[in-house]
Structure formats: structure tokens, C-alpha cells
Amino acid sequence: MISDKKELRQLIFRHLDGLVIAPVAFCLHKKGVLDILLQKKDITLAELVQLTKANEGYLNVALRNLASQGFIDYHVNTTSNVITVQTNAKSAYTFSLFPLYEDVVALLTETDIFTSVEINATSIERLEKVFKAYANNFNITFSNDTNEKEIQLQILKHIEGYLVGPAVVSLGMTGMFHNYFMETSFSAEEFHKQPEVFKIILDFFVHLEWFTKKNNNYQFTDKGLFFAKRATAYGVTVSYLPMFKHIEKLLFGDATALRNIAQNEDEIHVNREMNVWGSGGAHTTYFKVIDEIIIELFNKPIAEQPKGILDMGCGNGAFLQHIFEVIERQTKRGKMLEEYPLFLVGADYNQAALKVTRANLIKADIWAKVIWGDIGRPDLLAQDLNENYNIDLKDLLNVRTFLDHNRIWQEPKNTTPNRISSSTGAFAHRGELITNNAVEDNLLEHLSNWAPYVHKFGLLIIELHTIAPQLTAKNIGNTAATAYDATHGFSDQYIVEIDVLHKIAAEAGLFPDPLYFMKFPNTDYATVSINLLKGK
């Protein structure tokens, strides 16, 4: 059973790969980029941009994505800032299969069937045709060559990801995976207001052996229950499908169009409701570790404890509320709150988030200051806290989750002479290429801005990371790195490797406390870390 679970977990990762690779690969195929690669065999990114008129930054992200799947080779010379790609033994055959992505990419770009939470009748006939084509393996004759067959299966699993990922997220968000449905048989009419649509999806899940069907009643199999209980694992990647819907514009058109919105308008590159839902479920493991650290810190002698906590990027206030409850119920400080009150501060750049946070904390009867804050300007935050609330930012434990990589890009004011980046990442801002050296200099300035305020009690962060594309390619089915790199690369976020974070933090005078450092998974291809960064 353990090996079965391992195989099913690997399937989730392959599905996530497909959600980002299918639109990227098909777009590069359609625009002739892959033909040029096959012809040249070895070419720099700059040369490829000249030939294709692509947006350099996002083309860089796209090519690195293909390399992460083992389809091409990718190299960054951080001394010269020259990026080179080469075809390899897999390239020609793999590229010949990219037209198989066409049907799911067409459904993504021409309908809302993959991007809406609600499953409806719009284009369901088109989806059913793709279901049937997939069930017949798109009429592929599986190769006798082991390597070619492996590539065929890799592509098919990518397509399967498109057919199950959005559906699983939709069903998870609308209550399908309630215990009632998990433990009993049911008909399509019992659950969905459009049972004829729901039935088509359930029948496809029967084909995948997620359900059994008897007399028009469906029941979960053990395999189906495995995926249902992990529905949130798909949430974050699926939430970015509105962005991949416009991948051709990002790569070859107006790269700024998806992000040029007024402050009071909804984001159009990501379904934020879905993103929050997926994050909440997927991050549970990390929050348990944070709880253990918080308990240990607030069990120390009172003179060694911070006076409170600041949660930058507080969202809806749930994390701040959770931390308060952990301290109140499970620490020595919790028994001393009358004598040593806990100063809680929730800060966010988004005014709507602040409004929700205030309402939620008031409802929970938790005292907290909820204020506007920019992660890039801790000096303004410190000034606001000091002048208006008589709180010294240096006396607080600063916490944040998956936020530092999503800072607003600013050109580094100062550059480190002779810096040679050790990152393998691909970075962009509104389509423009950002060198890895510049990303490290920017991160140094960012952490240096925070260093004076977190030197004493620390900056407790959960952070997302990239890994080298060669390492990702060697671990297909074991990591979501390809999906992370694509969703964050095309949306102008800056995830670096764990060792790069530690290197730059040290340059800023901040060091991870070894007692509290953890990485997930605990391997050389870890993509999440927990750090308490402090001064020595």
C-alpha cells in the first residue's frame, strides 16, 4: 500500500507538471521556436529572441521549464550573464508529440472550463471529446523503444493533469469531497445542479479508476479517495491557469497586459479565491512546524521573549489568530498575558485584506493592530508603529509565509562588485529579463532593509524555492518544482534556491538558527524551507 501511495503521489506531481507545460510547450511549437532549436541545436537566449521576437524574460522562463522536464538542456553563465540552450537526445521525439497538447490548450484558451470554480455546461461536449480521445491514448501506438515510451507516457500524464486538476479543485471547493460523499454511493442528481455535466466528469473518473459505477450510482475507490483528500494540492497551480490562458501574449505580445490593473480591480492572472483555498490546505504541514517553534520561543524566560508578533502579509488574519491561540493555550507566556500582554500586528499592502483581518480578529475577540504595510519598506512600518502605537518593531518577532519572493521588483540601488550568482533560476519583470546577479542584489537590499528590525528576535519565514532544472528533470514525479517555476516565473516572483537565500541573508548579517531550520522534502530537491533568521 505504501508503494501504491508513493506512485499516486508521483502522479499528482506529474499532473502539476502538465498544467504548466502543456500551454507553454504548445505555444513554442506553434510559434516555430522549437523548429529553430532543432535546427540550431545550440543557441543563446539572446539569439533566439532575435529570431523569434519573443519577450526575453518570459522566453527564458519557458525554456527553463522545458529543461526541467528533461526535454532540452539549459545553462546560465552568471559571469557573463549568457543563457544557452541545447537540444538533447529527447528533444526531437518529444517536440514531435507536442501537437497532442492542442485540444486541452484550446479548451483553456477558448473557454472558461478550466479556470472557473463552477463546472457548467459551457463547452462540456468539447471536454467530453477530449476525455474520449485521452481514454484512447489519442490513438498513439506505444513505442517498443523504452525511452520513447517513457516520453509518450510523460506527455499523456501532462494531458491527464489538465483533465483532472481543474475538476478536482472545482469539486473540492464546492463540497464534493465531504465525508458523506466519500463514504456512500451517490447519483449525479444528488450532488450537482447540472447532473448531465457532472455525470460526464464522473464517468471519466470511472475510467481512471477513481470511482466505481453501478446502476448509475458512483462510489469512491481507495485510489479516488487518495486524490480527493489531496485536492488542495492542485489548488495553487490551477489558480494560475487564467495566466496560462494568455501565454502567447506573455511570450510574444504585450507582456504587461495581464498585470496593468487599477488597485481596486481584481487580479486577472490568478484566481485568488482558489489560490487561498489551495494554499490553506497545502501548507498545513509547514504551519505545524511553525507552531512548535512559536511554543518553544514563548516558553523561554520572559526577558528573552519578544513583546509580540508582526505578521506581514496578514491576508485574512487567520495565521495571526492561530499564532495567538497557540501562545495563549500552549505556552508559559499564555499564562502571563495580563502581566505581559502580547502585542499583535497584522500588516498588509491590500486594503481589502486589512478590512477582512480586522473583522475576523474582532470576531475572535483578539486585540491587534491592523495596519497598511509594504514588505519593501520596513522603515515606514517601524515609523508608523512607533509614532501611532508606541510599539518598537525591533521588539517583535516578525513572521511571514511565502511572501518575500513576491516582493515588488525594484532595480538594485547598489550592485555587489564581481558578484557571480549561484542561482540557476529564470527571472523576469513584465517580460523583461532580470539577471540572476540582479536578483541576488535585490534580495540583499530587501533583507538588509529588514535586518535592523529583526536582528534581535528574528524573522521567522516559510519560503518557496527553486532547484536546478537538471535536478528537477532527474526527479520527475517527486517534486512540483516545474509548476512552481512556471507559475512564479511568469507572474514576476523571485524564488531562489535555499543555499542562495542563506548566502544573501548572511551578506545582510542574518543567519538561520540551526535549531529551527527545516526543509521540505528533506532532500537535495527541497522546494520549501522554514528559517528563523537572526543576527549573531
pTM of the full structure? 0.95
The residues with which 83 forms a beta bridge, in sequence order, are 76
The residues with which 512 forms a beta bridge, in sequence order, are 533
Distance CA 222, CA 337 (A): 47
Q: Say yes or no: domain 272-420+440-466+495-534 is CATH 3.30.360.10.
A: no
Q: Determine if the peptide bond prior to 514 is cis (ω within 30°).
A: no
Kind and range of the H or E element at 530?
strand 528-534
Distance CA 488, CA 65 (A): 11
Contact criterion met (CB below 8 Å) for 235 and 192: no
- List, in order, residues 6 or more apart from 473 with CB less than 8 Å away: 67, 68, 69, 70
Distance CA 431, CA 59 (A): 8
Residue 116 has what pLDDT? 86
Distance CA 530, CA 125 (A): 46
Q: How many CB atoms lie within 10 A of CB 222?
A: 12
Cα–Cα separations (whole angstroms), residue 235 to 5, 160, 198, 276, 277? 20, 16, 20, 8, 7
Residue 279 has what pLDDT? 83
Distance CA 102, CA 108 (A): 10
Cα–Cα separations (whole angstroms), residue 446 to 407, 408, 443, 463, 510? 9, 10, 5, 15, 12
E strand segments, 349-395: 369-372
Residue of 194, 218, 215, 216 whose CA lies nearest to 206: 218
Residue 2 has what pLDDT? 47
Residue 179 has what pLDDT? 67
Residue 1 has what pLDDT? 46
Per residue, the 3-state secondary structure of 479-513, as one string, reads CCHHHHHHHHHCCCCCCCCHHHHHHHHHHCCCEEC
The residues with which 77 forms a beta bridge, in sequence order, are 82
Distance CA 43, CA 474 (A): 23
List the pLDDT tens digit at each of the 536 positions of the chain: 445 899 999 999 999 999 999 999 999 999 999 999 999 999 999 999 999 999 999 999 999 999 999 999 999 998 889 999 999 999 999 999 999 999 999 999 999 999 988 777 778 889 999 999 999 999 999 999 999 999 999 999 999 999 999 999 998 888 777 766 677 888 888 776 778 888 999 999 999 999 999 998 999 999 999 999 999 999 999 999 999 999 999 999 999 988 776 454 567 898 888 888 888 777 788 989 999 999 999 999 999 999 999 999 998 888 899 999 999 999 999 999 999 999 999 999 888 889 989 999 999 999 999 999 999 999 999 999 999 889 999 999 999 999 999 999 999 998 888 899 999 999 999 999 999 999 999 999 999 999 999 999 999 999 999 999 999 999 999 999 999 999 999 999 999 999 999 999 999 999 999 999 999 999 999 999 999 999 98
